[in-house]
């Protein structure tokens, strides 16, 4: 189980969601949808896909982010991503993410970051911008602050 807090400025909502880990077959299926746009995996990528999925620990958001980031990438990119995940311990990745999050200047930027990560990974940028502008985010400067 993994607790994830999704915070949004739209209406001042803040909820705690309990996310159950997916089984390995479900994890692979979700990963494949984001990586390939369908459930089948090219034979050349199958071993890498299975190994990459293991590193996500059954967490849907991790599977979505990793699959989307490797979509339309070469097999050598997949191999490199796997090597990187095997080299850097999960606790180190979490520490780097925490430092990055904590370095954001104010709660507005932190909430903006969380909304993007929790709600808009893999979504069209124009769609995301329209929604977040409607929530009184200053999307253009917000994205610049995150980059």
Which residues are bridge partners to 15 per DSSP? 6
**Structure-model confidence comparison of residues 36 and 123, the more confident one:** 36
The segment with the largest mean pLDDT, out of 7-11, 41-45, 60-64, 73-77, is 73-77
Cα(140)–Cα(40) distance, integer angstroms: 37
Mean pLDDT, residues 44-59: 87
Mean pLDDT, residues 21-37: 90
pLDDT-derived band at 2, boundaries 50, 70, 90: very low
List, in order, residues 6 or more apart from 110 with CB less than 8 Å away: 101, 104
pLDDT tens column, 66-124: 888 888 888 898 899 888 888 876 666 667 667 777 888 888 888 888 888 777 766 78
* Secondary structure element (H or E) that encloses residue 53, with its range: helix 43-55
Cα(94)–Cα(74) distance, integer angstroms: 26
* Secondary structure element (H or E) that encloses residue 6, with its range: strand 2-7
Residue 136 has a pLDDT of: 82
Cα(75)–Cα(102) distance, integer angstroms: 34
List, in order, residues 6 or more apart from 63 with CB less than 8 Å away: 22, 27, 30, 31, 34, 53, 56
Domain boundaries, the chain: 1-87, 89-147
Class of residue 67 by CB neighbours under 10 A (exposed 0-12, middle 13-18, buried 19+): buried
Q: At residue 24, does pLDDT exceed 60?
A: yes
Tokens of 59: 């967490």
Cα(147)–Cα(133) distance, integer angstroms: 18
**Does the pTM exceed 0.85?**
no
CATH value of 1-87 in 1.10.3720.10, 3.40.50.170, 1.10.8.430, 3.40.1390.20: 1.10.8.430
Residue 1 has a pLDDT of: 36
């Amino acid at each position: 189980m993994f607790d994830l807090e999704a915070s949004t400025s739209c209406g001042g909502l803040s909820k705690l969601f309990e996310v159950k880990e997916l089984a390995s077959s479900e994890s692979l299926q979700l990963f494949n949808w984001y990586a390939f746009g369908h459930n089948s995996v090219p034979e050349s990528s199958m071993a890498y896909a299975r190994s990459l999925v293991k590193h996500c620990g059954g967490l849907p958001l991790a599977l979505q982010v990793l699959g989307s980031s490797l979509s339309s990438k070469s097999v050598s990119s997949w191999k490199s991503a796997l090597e990187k995940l095997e080299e850097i311990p999960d606790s180190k990745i979490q520490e780097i993410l925490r430092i990055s999050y904590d370095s954001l200047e104010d709660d507005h930027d932190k909430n903006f970051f969380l909304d993007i990560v929790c709600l808009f990974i893999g979504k069209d940028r124009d769609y995301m911008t329209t929604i977040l502008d409607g929530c009184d985010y200053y999307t253009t400067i917000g994205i610049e602050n995150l980059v």
